[in-house]
Amino acid sequence: MEAAEFRRRGKEMVDLIADYLENIEQRPVYPDVEPGYLRSLIPEEAPEEPDTYEDVVKDIERVIMPGVTHWHSPYFYAYFPTANSFPAMLADMLSGAIGCIGFSWAASPACTELETVMMDWLGKMLKLPEDFIAGTHGQGGGVIQGTASEATLVALLAARSRAVRMILASDPQRPETGITSKLVAYSSDQAHCSVERAGMIAGVRMKKIPTEQSDKYAVQGETLRRMIQEDKAAGLIPFYFCATLGTTPSCAFDHITELGPICNAEKIWMHIDAAYAGSSFICPEFRPLLNGIEFADSFNFNPHKWLLVNFDCSTMWVRKRSDLIGAFKMDPLYLKHDHQESGRYFYTDNSLFRSLKMWFVFRMYGLKGLQDYIRKHVELAKEFESLVRADQRFEISADVVLGLVCFRLKGSNEVNETLLKRINNGRKIHLVPCQLSGQFVLRFAVCARTTESRHIREAWRLITQLAEEVMQDVTKLKVRM
């Protein structure tokens, strides 16, 4: 394809995208296909001779769309949101065209510099402590990762490296393997599974801290303190704690104002995973949820979840860049350049120009536009919560703080599982469950940029209609027995 055709096809593609997104709610949100559906629709091998562009585009509706779960449909309420906005998509096009890989300043100065400055902009929007802002002379700063899972792992590896260095400094004869085999990390039993997996990848023990419904599923300082004391008494070395702000099951918030000082006193690296909830901290009314950040060594959240920056863009800040640089520094000759000395950049990842998406979105929405967007989602979640609370057959299973509502029919887990199955089989709306205190709970997360009150009311109409049917079936079964 030459530039002249690209101009034409590019405009057609923009139309196709706009049509898709404008009409998305007419499509069933969840696909009606069986595993392996796609293989039979396309050849076993890549074409020897080139296909035409028209043929490729025709296959979007024939091959791809039948198997797409439409995350940007206003009827999508599963998982947590994934961001999508036109400015971010346009920036992604430009990023693809520039196509640089920003592993060092010299690899593309604008790429690394914009990333550092955008991380400062965002850090200031969140009112992060000064320690986390790079500026021109700061010791800390931010770097974009692909996912929150990566950020958790990067923090864990940096913490492991720091712990080993600290112990060797006071006991140089101690064998390194003897240290790593004693290391122990902690996270909540509500933490995302990526935290446990990070422990597996890093080859360190990861202990889950139990939480209780009565404490709103938040890790309590006393519980962490007790586990640390027990582990130290057993000869283990506590070195890392991953706190969660906005857990995946119920959007619970660990008490970092209480947990942070314990970690600091024990020289334990505290990482904060706020993958979903982090975006809300740009609103002054939600910022108190981040109080205690001043005790953290690293903090991460996903603008690609809730801040209108398309995947992938997971922002991670550290108090001391040297902790990351020290852990992962590689120095081959081909990466050396004339401006090495500044040490301002600490890219651990071969990213495309991801900061361009942030720059476009932040400028075109402004802080106010982004705050309005977050507030609207929270209001929609509160509207859904009110509908649930007004229906005696249902109960709310966890506090609704942001855009997630956890709810269930009063009754058995089986009844709720049947309800969810029928909801998803209908393909009009899509939800996923979670388990809270042994109960099967339905999660309703406001996700799409275009969700309005009418979608929420329509979703509730469908849910209650199906609930009525499920309850009638249960009654019939009981009568028969």
Structure tokens, 217: 């599923």
The values of phi and psi at residue 3, to 5°, are: -60, -40
Q: How many CB atoms neighbour CB 121 within 10 A?
A: 18
What minimum distance in Å lies between the beta carbon of 302 and ligand PLP? Answer: 5
Where does this chain touch ligand PLP (CB under 6 A) — which range of 14-22, 92-100, 273-281, 380-388?
273-281
Which residue, 24 or 245, is less far from ligand PLP as judged by CB?
245
In order, the DSSP letters of 407-444 are EEESS-HHHHHHHHHHHHHH-SSB-EEEEETTEEEEEE
Cis peptide before 312 (omega within 30 of 0): yes
The binder of ligand PLP chosen from 71, 77, 80, 269 (CB under 6 A): 80
Residue 314, interface with ligand PLP (CB under 6 A)?
Answer: yes
The binder of ligand PLP chosen from 30, 240, 276, 362 (CB under 6 A): 276
Q: Pick the closest to residue 395 from 344, 460, 337, 442 (CA basis).
A: 442
Tell me the C-alpha distance between 317 and 325, whole Å.
Answer: 13
Which residue, 95 or 149, is less far from ligand PLP as judged by CB?
149
Which residue, 314 or 451, is less far from ligand PLP as judged by CB?
314
What minimum distance in Å lies between the beta carbon of 8 and ligand PLP? Answer: 36
What minimum distance in Å lies between the beta carbon of 137 and ligand PLP? Answer: 31
- Binders of ligand PLP among residues 332 to 391 (CB under 6 A) are none
With left for phi above 0 and alpha for psi between -120 and 50, is residue 457 left, alpha or beta?
alpha
Query: What type of residue is 154?
Result: V
Which residue, 138 or 249, is less far from ligand PLP as judged by CB?
249
Contact status, residue 454 vs residue 75, Cβ threshold 8 Å: no
Which residue, 305 or 455, is less far from ligand PLP as judged by CB?
305
Contact status, residue 162 vs residue 298, Cβ threshold 8 Å: no
- Binders of ligand PLP among residues 233 to 252 (CB under 6 A) are 244, 246-248
Q: How many CB atoms neighbour CB 325 within 10 A?
A: 16
Where does this chain touch ligand PLP (CB under 6 A) — which range of 4-12, 143-151, 173-181, 425-433?
143-151
Q: How many CB atoms neighbour CB 207 within 10 A?
A: 20
Compose the 194-233 pattern: x for residues touching ligand PLP by CB under 6 A, - for all others.
Answer: x---------------------------------------
**Running DSSP on this structure, what letter comes out for residue 301?**
E
Which residue, 183 or 277, is less far from ligand PLP as judged by CB?
277
What minimum distance in Å lies between the beta carbon of 369 and ligand PLP? Answer: 23
Tell me the C-alpha distance between 160 and 185, whole Å.
Answer: 9
Contact status, residue 151 vs residue 314, Cβ threshold 8 Å: yes
Residue 306, interface with ligand PLP (CB under 6 A)?
Answer: no
The binder of ligand PLP chosen from 25, 115, 273, 323 (CB under 6 A): 273
Which residue, 253 or 345, is less far from ligand PLP as judged by CB?
253
The binder of ligand PLP chosen from 104, 112, 250, 302 (CB under 6 A): 302
What minimum distance in Å lies between the beta carbon of 163 and ligand PLP? Answer: 23
Tell me the C-alpha distance between 307 and 189, whole Å.
Answer: 27
Contact status, residue 426 vs residue 462, Cβ threshold 8 Å: yes
Residue 254, interface with ligand PLP (CB under 6 A)?
Answer: no
Compose the 146-175 pattern: x for residues touching ligand PLP by CB under 6 A, - for all others.
Answer: -xxx--------------------------
Which residue, 104 or 247, is less far from ligand PLP as judged by CB?
247
Residues in contact with ligand PLP, total (CB under 6 A)?
15
Contact status, residue 397 vs residue 408, Cβ threshold 8 Å: yes
Contact status, residue 240 vs residue 160, Cβ threshold 8 Å: yes
Residue 92, interface with ligand PLP (CB under 6 A)?
Answer: no
Q: How many CB atoms neighbour CB 237 within 10 A?
A: 21
The binding site for ligand PLP (CB under 6 A) comprises: 80, 147-149, 192, 194, 244, 246-248, 273, 275-276, 302, 314
